[in-house]
């Protein structure tokens, strides 16, 4: 270390303003005996700011690029430098231009002592923000890398404040600048803006489709799952919320779309399984694969997506010939209906038999029966809530029949006809039906059996019911569903149910 440098440091430590300014500039510029160090140089200059406000601010503006000035929070010294030197005015103007504040930028440039290389009758005022930034690049006030990184920083701040459309406006200024589209920071920003636009419902302004597509491709290649998801949907012709595919890509590419959607789904974006199902289930597409489509639908249903649960439930019911398959399909539809899926609710209600009479009339009759036969009164509640026939209501065991989605009326050995004795899955389509089933299961549990009079055989229950209804003048149609053997078989076997509900199934599976 030179003797002069040692003396200069000693003076700076004693508080000499001139020494601090000289050392700060030396460290920012770098040179013989003094390696370039921004942090050390700023330390000296900021210590000199109270006594030498102008000189320290001009030194910072002169030796630091715009992005580093903003990174170190030196916007105020830049404004001070802009009052005295053209370099400060040009860099402050560039900052305003990047933010889209053309009036403030023109005001800064208008105070420059040197004339700008602007052609045309209107001068600087006739140029756009992008053209003025190109002029400032010619003057070496800013570098392309500075513009890109400052733009990304300012746009992300706007996004964090919920002003994503303003970030889009900033990016529109960079459209004509060379090297801007290839900047990784800008490409990642565009990919994040596409995701933000989809979530918030705003547009992407006049951003070029090619720029958006290349940015999504680059981010997807780097492992950005949201970019994979958005680009996969766009390439397959599916909209990203309100964003049409032609706003994001130039043309479809189904094979590439399938790979991107599979990557996004495998990475944890559950809804991508559903988009991949739509792509693979279309028999007209070049990537049609019914086996993979079913696999994707099952994966989406396992992740709890209501649409996937409804579609898979409808498919399972459509092909069901055994009670186990019926239970599986009803369980899926019930899960979708619990998420307010209206179509799933319609499919569930199509599995119920109608019961006549009003609720008030039924409630009055149940209250009249309850003192003499509490278990029979509960069976009447179940019959009305689930649309059971008289035979089903009197023979069902609520404790063993209860399921999370409703109940299963088991095989009835007392009925000879095969159409009427096979088990049937009956969904709970209302919260009241589910509550009624839980109360019935508790009433018929082992703990409650000891405190109540035994029900007796099926014949005894039927006789007791007939006598009570006759004495209380209650009509059976208020509680029990009346249907032919064909109607009952149509809701007991999925394949036959599907033939009766063809129109509804077409709407659900469209």
Query: What is the per-residue pLDDT across 452-502, written as a single tens digit (0 to 9) for each?
Result: 566 778 888 889 999 999 999 988 889 998 888 788 888 988 999 999 999
Q: Strand, helix or coil at 406? A: strand
Q: What is the pLDDT of residues 406-447, one digit of tens each?
A: 999 977 666 656 556 778 999 999 999 999 999 999 888 865
Instruction: Give the pLDDT score at 346.
Output: 94
Phi, psi of 154 (to 5 degrees): -65, -40
CB 80 within 8 A of CB 92: no
Q: How far is CA 318 from the centre of its chain?
A: 30
Candidate from 15-24, 54-63, 243-252, 312-321 with smallest mean pLDDT? 15-24
Q: How confident is the model at residue 219 (pLDDT cuts 50, 70, 90)?
A: very high
Q: Strand, helix or coil at 161? A: coil
Q: Does pLDDT of 117 surpass 80?
A: no
Cα separation, 320 vs 376, whole angstroms: 33
For all residues of the chain together, what is the average pLDDT? 87
The per-type count for the chain, helices as H runs and strands as E runs, is 31, 3
Cα separation, 342 vs 196, whole angstroms: 29
Q: How confident is the model at residue 97 (pLDDT cuts 50, 70, 90)?
A: confident
Instruction: Give the pLDDT score at 268.
Output: 94
List, in order, residues 6 or more apart from 105 with CB less than 8 Å away: 93, 94, 96, 97, 129, 132
Instruction: Give the pLDDT score at 120.
Output: 46
Over pLDDT 90: what percentage of the chain? 46
172-192: average pLDDT: 79
Over pLDDT 70: what percentage of the chain? 92
Q: What is the pLDDT of residues 260-298, one digit of tens each?
A: 999 999 999 999 999 999 999 988 889 999 999 999 999
Residue 72 is encoded by which pair of tokens?
């170190």
Q: Strand, helix or coil at 384? A: helix
Candidate from 176-185, 205-214, 299-308, 401-410 with smallest mean pLDDT? 176-185
154-175: average pLDDT: 84
Instruction: Give the pLDDT score at 423.
Output: 87
Instruction: Give the pLDDT score at 510.
Output: 80
């Amino acid at each position: 270390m030179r003797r002069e440098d040692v003396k200069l440091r000693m003076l700076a430590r004693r508080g000499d303003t001139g020494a601090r300014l000289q050392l700060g500039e030396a460290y920012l510029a770098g040179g013989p005996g003094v390696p370039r160090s921004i942090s050390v140089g700023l330390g000296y200059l900021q210590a000199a700011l109270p006594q030498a406000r102008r000189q320290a601010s001009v030194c910072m503006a002169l030796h630091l690029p715009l992005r580093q000035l903003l990174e170190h929070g030196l916007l105020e010294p830049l404004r001070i430098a802009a009052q005295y030197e053209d370099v400060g005015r040009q860099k402050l103007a560039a900052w305003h231009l990047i933010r889209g504040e053309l009036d403030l930028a023109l005001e800064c440039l208008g105070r420059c002592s040197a004339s700008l290389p602007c052609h045309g009758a209107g001068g600087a005022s006739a140029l756009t923000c992008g053209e003025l930034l190109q002029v400032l690049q010619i003057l070496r006030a800013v570098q392309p890398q500075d513009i890109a990184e400052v733009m990304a920083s300012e746009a992300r701040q706007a996004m964090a404040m919920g002003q994503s459309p303003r970030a889009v406006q900033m990016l529109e200024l960079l459209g004509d600048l060379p090297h801007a589209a290839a900047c990784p920071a800008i490409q990642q920003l565009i990919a994040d803006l596409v995701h933000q636009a989809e979530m918030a419902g705003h547009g992407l302004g006049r951003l070029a489709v090619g720029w958006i597509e290349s940015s999504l491709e680059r981010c997807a290649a780097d492992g950005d799952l949201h970019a994979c998801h958005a680009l996969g949907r766009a390439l397959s012709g599916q909209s990203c919320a309100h964003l049409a595919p032609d706003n994001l890509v130039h043309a479809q590419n189904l094979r590439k779309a399938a790979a991107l959607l599979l990557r996004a789904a495998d990475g944890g974006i559950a809804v991508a399984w559903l988009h991949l199902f739509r792509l693979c289930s279309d028999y007209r597409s070049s990537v049609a694969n019914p086996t993979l489509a079913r696999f994707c639908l099952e994966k989406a249903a396992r992740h709890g997506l209501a649409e996937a649960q409804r579609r898979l439930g409808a498919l399972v019911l459509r092909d069901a010939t055994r009670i186990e398959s019926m239970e599986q399909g009803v369980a899926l539809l019930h899960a979708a209906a619990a998420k307010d899926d209206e179509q799933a609710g319609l499919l569930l209600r199509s599995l119920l038999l109608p019961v006549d009479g009003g609720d008030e009339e039924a409630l009055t009759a149940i209250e009249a029966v309850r003192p003499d036969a509490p278990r029979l009164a509960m069976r009447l509640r179940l019959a009305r809530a689930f649309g059971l026939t008289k035979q089903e209501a009197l023979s069902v065991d609520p404790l063993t029949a209860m399921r999370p989605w409703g109940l299963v009326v088991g095989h009835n050995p007392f009925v000879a006809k095969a159409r009427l004795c096979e088990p049937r899955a009956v969904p709970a389509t209302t919260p009241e039906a589910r509550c009624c089933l839980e109360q019935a299961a508790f009433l018929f549990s082992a703990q409650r059996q000891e405190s109540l009079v035994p029900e007796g055989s099926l014949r005894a229950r039927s006789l007791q019911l007939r006598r009570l209804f006759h004495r209380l003048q209650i009509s059976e149609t208020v509680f029990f569903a009346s249907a032919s053997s064909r109607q009952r078989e149509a809701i007991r076997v999925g394949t036959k149910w599907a033939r009766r509900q063809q129109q509804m199934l077409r709407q659900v599976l469209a």
